[in-house]
Amino acid sequence: MAVLVDEHTRVLVQGMTGRAGTFYTDLAMRYGSTYVAGVRPGKVGTSHLDLPVFDTVRQATEATGANASLVLVPPHKAAEAMIEAIEGGIGLVVCVTERVPVHDMLRVRAALRGSETELVGPNSQGVLAPGLCKIGVMATSNATAGRVGIVSRSASLTSEIVAQTSAAGLGQSTTIGVGGDLIHGIGFRRCLELFKDDPATEGVILIGEIGGSEEEAAADYLASVDYGKPVVALVVGRHAPTQRRMGHAGTLAVLGGGTADAKVRRLQDAGAVIAQNADEVAGLMRQALGDA
Amino acid sequence: MDLPEYQAKEILAQYGVTVPEGALARSAVEAENRARAITCEKFAVKAQIHAGGRGLAGGVKFAATPSAVRDAAEVLIGMRLVTEQTGPAGEEVDSVWVEAAIDNRRNIYIAFVIDERKGVAQLFGAPEGGVAFEESARADPGMLESLEVPRDGDLSGVDVAGFLDRLGIDGAAAPHGAALIAKLVRAATETDALLVEINPLAILSDGQVVAVDAKMVIDDSALYRHPEFEDIARAAPRDKYERVARENDINFVKMDGDIGVVVNGAGLGLATNDMLIDAGGRPANFMDIRTTATSLQIARGIGVLLEDPAVRAILVNVHGGGMTVCDTVAEAINIAYSRSARKPPIVFRAAGQNASWALKIMKDRRLPFEPHDDISGAVKRVIALAKGAE
């Protein structure tokens, strides 16, 4: 088992015929994931990587039963692609595109309201259930199927923690990169909910950083439920140079993006085990699971 | 991209927002001449930097005559202004904005903000703006009024009227306030602004509303559709190191330590600097090699570190993922070192995709490096090297 994806996940790729689309679709299929179609307006009837290509998401889902989409299109086309997938009723949309304009993401968020779609990203490395399904651009060499769910804002740090948990014999149930952008799809809180209900996930590693309010929302959620599984949290950026702030920055300061220390405190108060640095995350999870 | 006051005001004025008559000056004499062209009883002379908090830090001066404007500009231009938002190093003032000082009846705070918690754009306002706004809003966040901006930007007249009323913009000022909000939302939406802040917004006795100070932050990711900002964007990074890095797809923040840090990915970069500082080291920079950077671009980023005489040792911590692989970084180090006369020792930790290949490149090119398997060990060793260990 895993969250968001499973052995029945059938992936279509928006932007499959491009250079990045070709490269990452090919890698994901070699990994054993089920990819069923590509979408590229104007190319209906052709095939690419032995998969049929369609003009629209709707055509592709009707013809192939695709239920997940990987969005790999340039930034200026990414919002339209996500909205098309949401309106096409795709259950899971994963967008790895970086630098999608924030105002475009406001439109995507409006499209998400009332839909059944879970959006991961943009600027996400994707979702990986080792051995079952890869939707994204992450490396898989160190990933092993296992017991720990990982949710993260950072791709590079996820690679690091995946390698550690594999080396520690824990493995991963699913890894989810929620993306580092200001406005994105699902966040830490939703991922924690999903992991809570997943029998394969025995513990969750949450990798946060300064800025935004993802970690605070996660802490509020953990404090409000009997989570039943250990959560190990690493929040990086404790010593980051304070970013320059604009204007009187009043609203931002008041609403705002907590410091790493404030996030750590909130998570700790909510019952999470706090890792002081990236090297000790897997060890703390082993202890929490009673393996040490 | 942060826009200083005068650019934000120029943009807002294009959208019909009333701003005080003013002009930019880069010297004291120029400031005096600018003042002579403005008709008013009192002038404001305002340091133009890319950070707020100027009023409290002495960056805004008032003057009654053009020659007093010159004196004020003389003091401001060339000074390093340290405000709550600049950090301890401050920012050098290279220009001032000279404008007609507004005899405010009341000061309001109003801003267009992207609210990441809700995933929407919001207007925020407070009935008391001005220099002390931030402190009072922090003490009492309840004083902030908000109004969600619908996706099409089409705010309902009733909602706007209620919002203005809660801010105390009523009577003769109400229609001016409503017009201002429409202009503000249009300006923010059409320029891809992440923040437009008007503080203070002066309410004059006849009900007119005037943006006395304004700041804007434009979304860097949307600059491709705003050729009008190209010149500003090019000039934006204030530091030459940060400029080189920006041109080469690397996020780079200069710090004042002696250990150069080369890391792929923002999260790993933050984690590495945390560990370095916890262990008593002093990073010379924060670096995040973006996934799209090539080895030549990364080499230019590393070149910046090699040029910095304060850098005594380099810590490389890369975790090869699906996009940036370790050998790309090793190639970049080789290119940068072959171009540089200074060759500080490298503590090299590579994991993940193509790590062993990267190590082979480092060995074959005879780079002055020591391999390490874990981050803690690498951090400890690079601190020792920076302190002069053999």
Q: Which helix (H) or strand (E) holds A52?
A: strand A51-54
Q: Strand pairing partners for B297?
A: none
Nearest to B264 among A142, A156, A245 (CB): A156
Indicate if A191 and A277 belong to the same structural domain: yes
Indicate if A239 and A110 belong to the same structural domain: no
Asked if residue A214 is part of any domain, the answer here is: yes
Indicate if A109 and A147 belong to the same structural domain: no
Asked if residue A192 is part of any domain, the answer here is: yes
Indicate if A189 and A49 belong to the same structural domain: no
pLDDT of residue A248: 35
Token pair recorded at residue B316: 């490389």
Contact at CB, A251 and B137, closer than 8 angstroms = yes
Indicate if A112 and A167 belong to the same structural domain: no
Indicate if A35 and A147 belong to the same structural domain: no
Indicate if A10 and A91 belong to the same structural domain: yes
Nearest CA distance, A105 vs chain B (angstrom): 8
Indicate if A146 and A266 belong to the same structural domain: yes
Q: Strand pairing partners for B126?
A: B109
B162 phi, psi to nearest 5 deg: -65, -45
Chain B residues within an 8 Å CB radius of A98: 290-292
pTM summary value:
0.92
Kindly give the confidence (pLDDT) of every residue in chain A, 292 residues in length, as a single tens digit, with 9 standing for 90 and above.
Answer: 799 999 999 999 999 999 999 999 999 999 999 999 999 999 999 999 999 999 999 999 999 999 999 999 999 999 999 999 999 999 999 999 999 999 999 999 999 999 999 999 999 999 999 999 999 999 999 999 999 999 999 999 999 999 999 999 999 999 999 998 889 999 999 999 999 999 999 999 999 998 888 999 999 999 999 999 999 999 998 888 665 444 334 455 555 557 888 899 999 999 999 999 999 999 999 999 997 5
* CATH number for the domain harbouring residue A18: 3.40.50.720
Give B235's pLDDT tier (boundaries 50, 70, 90).
low
Q: Of A63, A96, A123, which residue sits at a domain end?
A: A123
Q: Strand pairing partners for A160?
A: none
Rounded Cα gap, residues A123 and B141, in angstroms: 32
Chain A / chain B CB contacts < 8 angstroms: 219
Nearest to A207 among B189, B194, B267 (CB): B267
Q: Which residue has the higher pLDDT, B288 or B386?
A: B386
Mean pLDDT computed over every residue of chain B: 91
Rounded Cα gap, residues B143 and B107, in angstroms: 14
- What are the contacts of B6-14 at 24+ separation with CB within 8 A? B6/B48, B6/B95, B6/B97, B7/B216, B7/B232, B8/B196, B8/B214, B8/B215, B8/B216, B9/B211, B9/B214, B11/B187, B11/B191, B11/B216, B12/B183, B12/B184, B12/B187, B12/B196, B12/B198, B12/B211, B12/B214, B14/B187
Nearest CA distance, A41 vs chain B (angstrom): 23
pLDDT of residue A256: 54
Indicate if A94 and A146 belong to the same structural domain: no
Q: Kindly state the percentage of chain B with pLDDT values over 70.
A: 98
Contact at CB, B85 and A246, closer than 8 angstroms = yes
List Cβ neighbours of A156 (8 Å cut-off, separation of 6 or more): B263, B264, B265, B266, B267, B268, B269, B319, B321, B324
Token pair recorded at residue B222: 């949307």
Nearest CA distance, B79 vs chain A (angstrom): 19
Token pair recorded at residue B320: 């090869």
Asked if residue A25 is part of any domain, the answer here is: yes
Contact at CB, B85 and A27, closer than 8 angstroms = no
User: What mean pLDDT comes out for the span B310-322?
Assistant: 92
List Cβ neighbours of A177 (8 Å cut-off, separation of 6 or more): A120, A121, A124, A125, A126, A127, A136, A138, A152, A153, A154, A155, A158
Contact at CB, A125 and B322, closer than 8 angstroms = yes
Contact at CB, A182 and B291, closer than 8 angstroms = no
Structural domain of residue A92, as residue ranges?
1-123
Cβ atoms B352, A159 nearer than 8 A: yes
Asked if residue A84 is part of any domain, the answer here is: yes
Nearest CA distance, B269 vs chain A (angstrom): 9
Indicate if A183 and A221 belong to the same structural domain: yes
Rounded Cα gap, residues B200 and B129, in angstroms: 5
Token pair recorded at residue A70: 């990987």
CB neighbour class for B227 (10 Å; exposed up to 12, middle 13-18, buried from 19): exposed
Contact at CB, A159 and B352, closer than 8 angstroms = yes
Count the domains in chain A. Answer: 2
Best of A95, A156, A162, A254 to substitute, by most chain B Cβ atoms within 10 angstroms, is A156
Asked if residue A130 is part of any domain, the answer here is: no
List Cβ neighbours of B389 (8 Å cut-off, separation of 6 or more): none
List Cβ neighbours of A50 (8 Å cut-off, separation of 6 or more): none
Asked if residue A134 is part of any domain, the answer here is: no
Cβ atoms A178, A187 nearer than 8 A: yes
* CATH number for the domain harbouring residue A217: 3.40.50.261
Domains of chain B: 1-19+103-237 (3.30.470.20), 21-101 (3.30.1490.20), 240-387 (3.40.50.261)
Chain B residues within an 8 Å CB radius of A24: 322
CA dist list (Å): B192 to A101, B94, B147: 8, 27, 19
Which of left, alpha, beta for B280 (phi over 0: left; psi -120 to 50: alpha)? Answer: left
Question: Is residue A239 flagged as an active site residue?
Answer: no
Chain B residues within an 8 Å CB radius of A155: 265, 267, 291, 321-323
- Tokens 């434009």, located at residue: B218
Asked if residue A132 is part of any domain, the answer here is: no
Asked if residue A161 is part of any domain, the answer here is: yes
Amino acid at position A271, single letter: G
